[in-house]
Every structure is written in C-alpha cells, then in structure tokens.
Amino acid sequence: MHRLLVVDDDSDIRGLLAEQLGRTGYAVSTAADGVEMRHALAREPIDLIVLDLNLPHEDGLALCRELRTRSTTPVIMLTARAEPIDRVLGLEMGADDYLAKPFEPRELLARIRSVLRRTEALPANLEPLAMRRATFADWVFDLERRHLVDPAGRVVMLSGAEFRLLRVFVGHANKVLSRDQLAALCGGRSYETQDRAMDLQVSRLRQKLGAAGGLIKTVRNEGYVFAGVVTLA
C-alpha cells in the first residue's frame, strides 16, 4: 500500500483529502506545515507528497526545493493561485506535477496515480542500466538522492521532467533519440509527445547545465544526442 503525505495548513482540506484518498486504498498522513512535514518524513516512509504552495512560515516552493536536495519522493503541488508563473516556479523547484485549487478530487487521484507510475516504473529498456550515479564533464548526477552537482560543488535544482530527461540522456549517451523515443523513455504524459513540448524541456535542461548543456546536440530531422563521456555507477 502506498503512503501519501498531505501538507496543507487548512484542516478541512487535510481531513477531506485524507478521507477521500484513504477510501481509494492509500494510507494517508497529514501535516499542517514544514515542521510537521519533516517529522512525518522522519517517522515513516512516504511514497508521494501532496504539498500546498501557500503555507505559513515556509511556503511550498521553499519546502519543495529543500526536499529535492535530499529526497526523490515525488511531489504534487497545490495552490489557490492559477497564474502560469506559479506553475513554472513549482516545476522548476522540482515538483512532479501541479494542480490549481479548486480541483475535483478525482483529478488529484488521477494525477497521483500517474506520478506514481512514472516514478516507480522505469521502461524496460532502461532497467539493465541500473545506474545510481553518473558523471560527465565534471558534473555529478546522483540518481538516488536526485542531486545534480555542478563542477563547483553546487546543487542544481531539477524539475521532475528535467530529472527524467537527464536520466535518459546519460543512460543512452552518444545514441540519437527521437522526440517520441525520449517521451516514451521518460514515461511522460501525452503532451510530452508533442515536438514543441519536448524541445522546451531540452532547452530548459541545457540552461540548467550551463556550458555542459552543449553536450546535448540537436540532430536535424532525427532528435537529440547526449554527445559526451559518461561514467555510470
């Protein structure tokens, strides 16, 4: 049974989500703020966090950024603000998905199931790699901790989509991959099969990698290739 953690300062929402998600077969813990969230994570294994953006003291963006420096636990962010910039910031901080309030509980349930599938089930052609760590151009990509560390030793935050995309690139270095292949290997949602969406993900990842972003080459009429020496462990 998967265990979920709902982090929201509204006790009514916490209770409602705990009840409804519990009815669908999930074990649900709740927290009202960052302090309670940390206690819950230390107390028991959590498979997915539903995190409200607008929390007292520490907002959801700060907590998501903190989580991504030490945990691979997937995060779905909730917010009462529907501005596109909020969604972008949430994803940039490492959230795996984003849902604006008010929302239908069925939609949240569908998002939870989708994120759990993506994060738990690697495609068959990735499984033989079984990599935990990759190094390239003095960068370190720690897949267990979900860390990307630049040559200066600084942790670079990755969104869920960027993490999956880089995992595919380093695991298939020097192989040309079409956009459809990248989307399939990333276990992505249907919109990620659209050329423009994949191009945007690649562009963002290149920016995160700085000078090393040049290792991701565009192959005209074919797709992309990660053209570099990668050491896997």
pLDDT digits (tens, 9 = 90+) for 3-53: 999 999 999 999 999 999 999 999 999 999 999 999 999 999 999 999 998
Cβ(166)–Cβ(205) below 8 Å:
yes
* CATH code assigned to 3-120: 3.40.50.2300
Cβ(225)–Cβ(194) below 8 Å:
no
Mean pLDDT estimate for the chain = 83
CA-wise closest residue to 167 among 182, 151, 157, 150: 182
Question: Can you tell me the mean pLDDT for 107-131?
Answer: 68
3-120 and 127-232: same fold? Answer: no
pLDDT above 80 (res 104): yes
What proportion of the chain, given as a percentage, has pLDDT over 70?
A: 84
- Residue 175: both structure tokens together: 């192989």
Cβ(164)–Cβ(186) below 8 Å:
yes
pLDDT in tens, 136-177: 999 999 887 778 999 999 999 888 788 889 999 998 899 998
The domains of the chain are located at 3-120, 127-232
* CATH code assigned to 127-232: 1.10.10.10
What proportion of the chain, given as a percentage, has pLDDT over 90?
A: 43
pLDDT above 50 (res 233): yes
pLDDT at 20: 93
